[in-house]
Amino acid sequence: MKHALHAANKKVLVLLLALCQLTVLLCSCDPPRAGQRDSFLMDTLIQQRIDDADGAEAVLDEAEALLRQLDAALSRFQPESDVSRISANAGAAPVPVGEDTLAVLRFAKDFSRQSSNALAVTVTPLSDLWNVNAEDPRVPDADAVAAALTLVDDAQLVLDGDTAFLARPGMSLDLGALGKGYACDRLIQLYRDRGVTAAIVSVGGSIAALGRPEGRAYTIGIRDPRGDASSYIATLPLEDAFCSTSGDYEQYFEVGGVRYHHIFDPATGYPADSGLMSVTVISNSGIASDALSTACFVLGPEEGIALLEAWGAEGVFIQKDSVVRVTPGLKETFTLAEGTSYRLWEGATP
């Protein structure tokens, strides 16, 4: 059995994963001129870089306070968070929650419907059952998967005023597929409100870029899903936009040559098997880019591209056959790395 994560210190492992996913800040055009801050919050590494602002350190202090607030509300690993209290009261009573939590949950319910339920924030019973980060992970029994799947239903998440309620006992929330993108949204708005004109932030697998330092867009590298942490297959400029990546290389184990990863298909209860290794989405919304990258990974390239078109977003789909599909809006700026074994899709892309 091959397992992607072996060590006992989960915090260190998650930090390493965050560093492995994106080398975006290293790819941006100049060294930081105003301020830079690295934090470990929301169960991941968060990197902020402000390139053009007076009082950048004060802005970064305020941004870190905001991130701590979001962590305290949205993390399922914090026992007193809104998310944990909603899960603890599943089937019992509605729970009063804060504005950030309500904003993410409202988005989640709408997006679940619009994406044919390809993303479910009630997926926790499945992810806990599979436990791909365990020291000795195993493929669960089919009956156990079926039982867990009965508790995965975002329609059973009820929002009423400032309260949230999971209608069935045993249900549980995980906002991991939305929270990092939402944090990017909130950070960029804070930067704008404080007069920042050029900045980039990385929250795990989600990135946000504001403005053009020295008149040049930031550059992101799309990681090779079968390469080491420093290898990338392509680059893209990012300006006043958000980017999120979902892939099967972040957390997984292998049994009998089959890779079992952490992105589950709510329709089957098993890791998504859509012929993809990773999806990168560019959007004008952080939470949308985060949700779309996960949903598109579950749906596969054909349905995923159609979903992106409906949302006015762009994407890069890396297939298991090493073919890369790029949506039309990125074709002029997407640059495949020299010497890569990946090749561009030759068919028609909607």
Lookup: tokens for 126: 């499945």
Sign of CA dihedral 261, 8, 222, 219: positive
**Structure confidence by residue, pLDDT tens digits, 118-160:** 999 999 999 999 999 999 999 999 999 999 999 999 999 999 9
Q: Tell me what the mean pLDDT of segment 212-235 comes to.
A: 91
Q: What integer pLDDT is reported at residue 10 of this predicted model?
A: 32
Whether residue 297 contacts residue 274, with contact meaning beta carbons closer than 8 Å, is answered with yes
Residue partners of 177: CB distance under 8 A and separation at least 6: 119, 121, 246, 290, 291, 294
Whether residue 91 contacts residue 161, with contact meaning beta carbons closer than 8 Å, is answered with no
**Structure confidence by residue, pLDDT tens digits, 294-315:** 999 999 999 999 999 999 999 9
How do the residues of the chain divide into helix, strand and coil, expressed in percent and rounded to 5? 35, 25, 40
**Structure confidence by residue, pLDDT tens digits, 322-341:** 999 999 999 999 999 999 99
Neighbours of 167 (CB within 10 A): 12
β partners of residue 252 = 261
Lookup: tokens for 52: 């053009």
Over 90: is that where the pLDDT of 48 sits? Answer: yes
Over 70: is that where the pLDDT of 11 sits? Answer: no
Whether residue 26 contacts residue 187, with contact meaning beta carbons closer than 8 Å, is answered with no
